[in-house]
Amino acid sequence: MKKIVVIAVVVTILLGCGEQQKSNKIQEPKGTENVAYKWGAMALTATANDTERFKPRPTITSRYLGLIFVAVFDAWSRYDDNAIPVYLKNVERRPQNEQSLKNKEIAISYAAFRAMNEYYYTDKTLFEDFMRQLGLDPSNESLDPTTPEGIGNLAAKAVIEARKGDGANQYGEEKNSNGTPYFNYVGYEPINSADANVDANRWQPKYFSDGKGGKFAPGCLTPFWDNVQPIALKSADQFRPGPPPLIGSKQLEEEVQEVIELQANLTDYEKALVEFMRDGPQSVQQAGHWLKFAQDVSRRDQHTLDEDVKMYFYNQVVAMDAFIASWDAKMHYDYARPYALVHEYYKNQKIKAWGGEGKGIIELDGTQWRPYSPDTFLCPPFPSYVSGHSTISGGCAEALKLWTGSDEFGSSAELVAGAMTEPHNLGDTITLQFPTFTETAEMAGISRVLGGYHIQADNVAGLELGRNVAKEAWKFYKEHVGEK
């Protein structure tokens, strides 16, 4: 009889534990409430602030975001049974009884905080305030590998140290640099100037308005980015596409004509698509744009902290490496943009095109053609082939598809056509629907052709390149989450 009582008590205890575990699981913060999501939102705010302060520099911010989420992942990995950190060495995995949600929250918060302080240093006060909101001490610089605070700080430190001298020239440290961060240490100079196009197949800088009645021609943005060490790729040129079509080819003639015809017939929907994908005021650039989309997935699927840590890590490694691979093609081919190609093909010919703010579609000489873009940022200041938007979008869309196990997305965005380009000539309010990840990437890619920034060759090759990056990075991801 005593045995039966003991068994009954044990069963009751086990059932109680099961109910307690179930209750704990239900209580775990999900979606917007999990701490990894909150640090993702903070990273987006910091990226938008960086764009505001330093002008668009999508390559640089993609590296920041990539390394921030590597630091977060590495800190988290010490509280997971199987995960293997990327840069964090000689820090033991914590025992099962320490693998609590609270310890994970503390570790990833210190990792994110320290990494963001390094890369988005102008927002240190913002990050300190956020740490205090989380109940954490921003002045805690412990490097104790047995505490979550120490592990978080060590994870960020390991990433920062490992990536010094990685080719990005963040500290002006590369050979042939002058000590200035992001200085052009490779000595790239375009063959063409803004005033003379001596080789129409090659990139030509263009004049922008300075917003004060003057003009300037920006130089090439980070022409050395093909030298940056990737995280998951074997090399920047691992998936380098074949060459773009050159002047004299039927393909290029047709694709330049396509750009003109598309722009001359832009609908309000297409204008809204161009502007949304261009990511206007408070821009977070392409890596940030796809981090936003990843956060849409987190809200949709009510992700836990573990899920968001892993998804952001993979998503942003893909974005960072996709930028490096894209710049490899850009700098290798040094290819012309439609801005110059239209001028070359249609000089001394009358065409219908957008004449600029307040002018609408008018008849003009081919040499007056311009992208559908504000005077202060007429065209991205670097070579065309392949499209960065297409590469990063193709890669990050494939990454989200692989990570979630489905192509279904279901996000949407509402905006007024023309608001970012011709605010005195507004169109209809448009709702953009993003049914699948693949279709969202293709919408991003075609938006660059519609806007007049790229020909189709840039777009098609970019989408393929990005997908190749994502598939290669998937193997890297699986290895680091311990699923090899």
pTM of the model: 0.94
364 DSSP β-pair partners: 351
Percent of the residues in the chain that have a pLDDT greater than 90, as a whole number: 92
| Cβ atoms of residues 458 and 385 within 8 Å | yes
Q: Do strands 215-216 and 429-436 pair parallel, antiparallel, or not at all (unpaired)?
A: unpaired
**Residue 414, helix vs strand vs coil:** strand
27-38 pLDDT tens trace: 899 999 999 999
Instruction: Look at the block and give the residue holding tokens 């609270």.
Output: 102
Q: In which region does residue 359 sit, left (phi positive, over 0), alpha (psi from -120 to 50) or beta (all else)?
A: alpha
Mean pLDDT for 51-63 is 95
| Cβ atoms of residues 85 and 129 within 8 Å | no
* Token pair for 269: 């929907």
| Cβ atoms of residues 44 and 292 within 8 Å | yes
Mean pLDDT for 414-438 is 96
14-26 pLDDT tens trace: 334 444 444 444 5
Long-range pairs, 20-29, Cβ under 8 A, ≥24: 28/101, 28/304, 28/305, 29/304, 29/305
**pLDDT value at residue 279:** 82
Q: Is the dihedral of CA 81, 87, 89, 94 positive or negative?
A: negative
430 DSSP β-pair partners: 415
Mean pLDDT for 352-371 is 96
Residues of the chain with CATH 1.10.606.20: 208-480
Closest CA to 328 of 208, 167, 178, 214: 167
**pLDDT value at residue 22:** 44
**Residue 204 pLDDT exceeds 90:** yes
**Which helix or strand (DSSP H or E) is residue 209 part of?**
strand 208-209
**pLDDT value at residue 188:** 98
CA 13 to mean position of chain CA atoms: 49
Residues of the chain with CATH 1.20.144.10: 29-162
* Angle at 438 (CA atoms; ends 433, 439), nearest 5 degrees: 35
367-418 pLDDT tens trace: 999 999 999 999 999 999 999 999 999 999 999 999 999 999 999 999 999 9
**Which helix or strand (DSSP H or E) is residue 402 part of?**
helix 388-404
Integer Cα distance of 120 and 189 in angstroms: 29
**pLDDT value at residue 439:** 98
For domain 29-162, say whether CATH 3.40.50.620 is its number: no
Mean pLDDT for 309-335 is 98
- Residue 135 has φ and ψ, to the nearest 5°, of 80, 25
Within 8 A by CB and 6+ apart from 180, the residues are 172
* Token pair for 121: 């240093």
| Cβ atoms of residues 322 and 50 within 8 Å | no
* Token pair for 354: 């957008």
Integer Cα distance of 433 and 415 in angstroms: 12
Q: Do strands 408-416 and 429-436 pair parallel, antiparallel, or not at all (unpaired)?
A: antiparallel
Cis peptide bond upstream of 386, omega within 30 = yes
- Reported confidence tier of residue 280, pLDDT bands at 50, 70, 90: low
Instruction: Look at the block and give the residue holding tokens 């109910």.
Output: 19
60-92 pLDDT tens trace: 999 999 999 999 999 999 999 999 999 999 999
CATH number of 208-480: 1.10.606.20
Average pLDDT, the chain: 94
Higher pLDDT, 9 or 249: 249
433-457 pLDDT tens trace: 999 999 999 999 999 999 999 999 9
Integer Cα distance of 180 and 171 in angstroms: 7
| Cβ atoms of residues 290 and 319 within 8 Å | yes
**Residue 211 pLDDT exceeds 50:** yes
* Token pair for 258: 């396509």
Integer Cα distance of 71 and 156 in angstroms: 5
Integer Cα distance of 374 and 312 in angstroms: 32
